[in-house]
Amino acid sequence: MRNGATSESRLARATIMTLGLGFLGLFLVMPLLVVFAQALASGIGAYADAVLEPDALAAMKLTLTVAAISVPLNIAFGVAAAWAITKFDFPGKSILITFIDLPFSVSPVVSGLIYVLLFGAQGWLGPWLAEHDVQIIFAVPGIVLATVFVTFPFVARELIPLMAEQGRDDEEAALSLGASGWQAFWHATLPNIRWGLLYGVLLCNARAMGEFGAVSVVSGHIRGETNTMPLHVEILYNEYNFVAAFAVASLLALLALVTLVLKSFLEWRYDYHGKGTGH
């Protein structure tokens, strides 16, 4: 039976699907299963011990703290940048767009090193900071800075095309009706971008909690103090404590799964809202 120009023979279809699914299974599903299998290899008791151990709890707390600081910062930055880029014309606009992408194109190690060079003991601002007793590198502020840097394109990148497509009409309508700039943003812009914004926040959060490279450079790996969850996993792994390493890793894997589910939901809402509104 032929279905049309794009239909292939049964054999070709089967081959392509096998390839696709096989690849997916080998590189995504199997590792995920291994994580959980390893985590539970010594039973649920060992799993609970590994997860509830003080250093693990500290790592979790730190990871949540870092995300709780850096995600709101990047929401503010991302919305402001997208707003400026799409609603106004100003010199240097294309440079700003290019710079927003910088964290994506640069290696996370470099992202971390930037801050060591800036704020480290031998860095430009190091002596001044030491004098005033402010510790940034090998402390929580450095981890937050590195995380903010690495995650800063997510919200802006998500919003720029969306806001560009929606144009300025709604804001101009609000302004012409006497609204202040803030009211125009709150009543006209934000409702139009809320699903896109949530989507960006979700990805930003996933990355903020999962970031390894840049954070590893600035963290100093002090157990119970400057170890985030990914760093804690690495340390446990390097100590051949596989059960504990995979137990903590399984939490990160769960985070990824939850993110995926939420992401699908948001994509669905997003599509649903984008259509049928006459735009």
Partner 1 sequence: MALRLSRQGDRALSIKLDTISKNFGGFTALGNINLEIEPGEFLALLGPSGSGKTTLLRIIAGLEFPDTGRVYYDGDDITDLKVADRGVGFVFQHYALFRHMTVADNVAFGLTVRKRRDRPAKSVIQARVQELLDLVQLGHLGKRYPAQLSGGQRQRVALARALAVEPRLLLLDEPFGALDARVRKDLRRWLRELHDSVGLTSIFVTHDQDEALELADRVVVMDHGVIEQIDTPQKIYDEPASAFVFDFVGESNQVAVTIAGGEARLFDRTLPLPAGTTLPGDGPARLFFRPHDAEIVADDKAGLAATVTLTRPNSGSIRVEGKLDGLDRLVEIDVPVEGAPQVGERIIVRPTRVKLYAGRAEA
Q: Output the six-digit token pair for 244.
A: 């504990």
Identify the CA nearest to 272 among candidates 210, 194, 219.
194
Measured from the CB atom, the residue of 172 and 239 that comes closer to partner 1 is: 172
Instruction: Give yes or no for residue 9 binding partner 1 (CB under 8 A).
Output: no
Size of the site for partner 1 (CB under 8 A): 20
Give the Cα separation of 8 and 2 in Å (integer): 8
Measured from the CB atom, the residue of 27 and 268 that comes closer to partner 1 is: 268
Q: What is the 3 state secondary structure string of 168-201? A: CHHHHHHHHCCCCHHHHHHHHHHHHHHHHHHHHH
Residue from 174, 204, 217, 248 touching partner 1 (CB under 8 A): that is 174
Instruction: Give yes or no for residue 173 binding partner 1 (CB under 8 A).
Output: yes
Give the Cα separation of 195 and 266 in Å (integer): 6
Q: Which stretch binds partner 1 (CB under 8 A): 115-123, 125-133, 177-185, 245-253?
A: 177-185
| The amino acid at 151 | T
- Cα angle, residue 114 at apex, residues 142 and 212 outer, rounded to 5°: 60
Instruction: Give yes or no for residue 170 binding partner 1 (CB under 8 A).
Output: yes
Could you tell me the smallest distance in angstroms from the CB atom of residue 178 to partner 1?
Answer: 5
- Cα angle, residue 236 at apex, residues 255 and 147 outer, rounded to 5°: 50
Residue from 172, 239, 267, 271 touching partner 1 (CB under 8 A): that is 172
Q: Which stretch binds partner 1 (CB under 8 A): 70-78, 100-108, 184-192, 260-268?
A: 184-192
Give the Cα separation of 110 and 116 in Å (integer): 10
Measured from the CB atom, the residue of 122 and 277 that comes closer to partner 1 is: 277
Q: What count of other Cβ atoms lies within 10 Å of the Cβ of residue 41?
A: 13
Footprint of partner 1 on residues 192-231 (CB under 8 A)?
Answer: 192
Measured from the CB atom, the residue of 169 and 239 that comes closer to partner 1 is: 169
Measured from the CB atom, the residue of 194 and 221 that comes closer to partner 1 is: 194
Could you tell me the smallest distance in angstroms from the CB atom of residue 61 to partner 1?
Answer: 37
Residues 65/195, Cβ–Cβ less than 8 Å:
no
Residues that bind partner 1 (CB under 8 A): 169-170, 172-180, 183, 187-188, 191-192, 276-279
